[in-house]
Amino acid sequence: MYTLGIETSCDETSCSVLKDGDTILSNVISSSLFRHKQFGGIVPEIASRHCLEQIETVFRESLELAKIKPEDIDLIAVTEGPGLIGSLLVGISFAKAVAYRLKIPIIGVNHLEAHLAANFIGSKVPEKYVGLLVSGGHSILSYHEKEKIKILGSTVDDAVGEAYDKAAKLLGLSYPGGPVMDKLAGEGNPQVFRFTKPKQENPFAFSFSGIKTAVLYEVQKQQKKNGNSLLESFVRDMAASFQSSVVSWMVEKTLHAAEVMKVKHAAVGGGVSANSWLRKSLVEEGARRGVRVQFPERILSLDNAAMIARRGWELFKKGKKSGWNLTGLPNLKMGIK
């Protein structure tokens, strides 16, 4: 069975062909990130225009690489939300047109659930597991048992990727900040700055706005000392200290959730799951506590259509599909549909 996945929730335009839910035959990604860099963030209008320009080429290339013809596709899975409405509508309209022409079923996919599903391409889905979804817009701890999803906690303010991007901006680094901070952190001393772990009533909730403000104060102190500039060593040590703190919070909460929910399995997804320290610490600390922690391959951590195809295939196998009234849902929550 061939599933065509289509992802256009933000700045990426991606199409993927997945065979029998487990073998990626193609996963073509066209990113418009280079067009947004100068603005220090994603510009929705630029993102949706890029999707519109790219979608047909990306679709054709994904079929060519998979060595299949449009008539071979059995199912189309497309991101229905959350995301930017302009970008979402490009993928959904394209998916509907192709599905209508080929007379094949179409299924709308939740982008957040797909990030976690990326872990299970080519492997068995655990009976129950704890999910950690960390991206530019979300930080969510969830519990999964069969098709039931329970949200254990989410961020009360900034998402972790957003905190990375904002801290990087304060340090004069380029957008997106996550990958740059990750690289610099490896060259700095994580013990130089100490950040207080935010206290919350719900032990599974996150908060990242406090650490961003703490970085701002340290930056201002440093600028006062050095005539408005930042020493390279300061930037490296700050990146390392910031990363060490936020990673330790994510590790602690995820493993605490596994303990409370009595599960031996955790799966991580979203752009921040590409982070090298998070990957290493969570896998190692998990192993010490008897929890197997799974991360998707790096390319499947970032936005891509293979994860959408996988999640769509899972839902279709359970008898779900969408109607022609499928539309973009910018604020779609995890576990709602």
**The tokens of 186 are what?**
């490896």
Closest to ligand KG4 by CB, 73 vs 91, is 91
What is the DSSP secondary-structure string of 63-94? Answer: HHHHT--GGG--EEEEEEESS-HHHHHHHHHH
Q: How far apart are alpha carbons 6 and 25 in whole angstroms?
A: 14
Closest to Zn ion by CB, 10 vs 315, is 10
Q: Which of residues 247-306 bind ligand KG4 (CB under 6 A)?
A: 270-272, 274-275, 302-303
Place of tokens 């994860």: 307
Q: Rule CB under 5 A: say whether 303 interacts with Zn ion.
A: yes
Select from 110, 135, 244, 322 the one that contacts Zn ion (CB under 5 A): 135
Q: How far apart are alpha carbons 75 and 1 in whole angstroms?
A: 8
Binding segment for Zn ion (CB under 5 A), chosen from 161-169, 189-197, 273-281, 303-311, is 303-311
3-state secondary structure of 102: helix
In order of 18, 19, 117, 307, 320, the CA distances from 122 in angstroms are 11, 10, 11, 12, 21
Selection from Zn ion, ligand KG4, none that 274 binds (CB < 5 to 8 A by kind) is ligand KG4
Count of C-beta atoms within a 10 Å radius of residue 146: 9
Closest distance of CB 303 from Zn ion, Å: 4
Q: Give ∠ CA 147-267-124 in degrees, rounded to 5.
A: 60
Closest distance of CB 127 from ligand KG4, Å: 26
Selection from Zn ion, ligand KG4, none that 94 binds (CB < 5 to 8 A by kind) is none
Closest to ligand KG4 by CB, 75 vs 211, is 211
Residue type, 208: F
Closest to Zn ion by CB, 63 vs 121, is 121
| Interface size with ligand KG4, residues (CB under 6 A) | 19
Q: Rule CB under 6 A: say whether 176 interacts with ligand KG4.
A: yes
Closest to ligand KG4 by CB, 165 vs 218, is 165
* Interaction pattern, residues 149-188, with Zn ion; x per rule: CB under 5 A: ----------------------------------------
Q: Rule CB under 6 A: say whether 164 interacts with ligand KG4.
A: yes
Closest distance of CB 290 from ligand KG4, Å: 27
Backbone phi, psi, residue 306, to 5°:
-65, -40
Closest to Zn ion by CB, 135 vs 245, is 135
In order of 13, 92, 145, 237, the CA distances from 75 in angstroms are 19, 14, 25, 49
Q: Which of residues 307-336 bind ligand KG4 (CB under 6 A)?
A: none
Select from 158, 182, 218, 237 the one that contacts ligand KG4 (CB under 6 A): 182
Closest to ligand KG4 by CB, 16 vs 135, is 135
Select from 126, 161, 188, 328 the one that contacts ligand KG4 (CB under 6 A): 161
- Count how many Cα atoms sit within 13 Å of the Cα of residue 56 in the half-sphere of its side chain: 4
Closest to Zn ion by CB, 171 vs 308, is 308
Can you list the positions of beta strands (E) in 9-126? 12-19, 23-31, 75-81, 106-110
CB 294 within 8 A of CB 266: yes
Kind of pairing between the strands at 148-154 and 139-145: antiparallel
Closest distance of CB 291 from ligand KG4, Å: 22
Q: How far apart are alpha carbons 322 and 315 in whole angstroms?
A: 10
Q: Which residues bind ligand KG4 (CB under 6 A)?
A: 10, 135-137, 161, 164-165, 176-179, 182, 270-272, 274-275, 302-303
Q: Which residues bind Zn ion (CB under 5 A)?
A: 135, 303
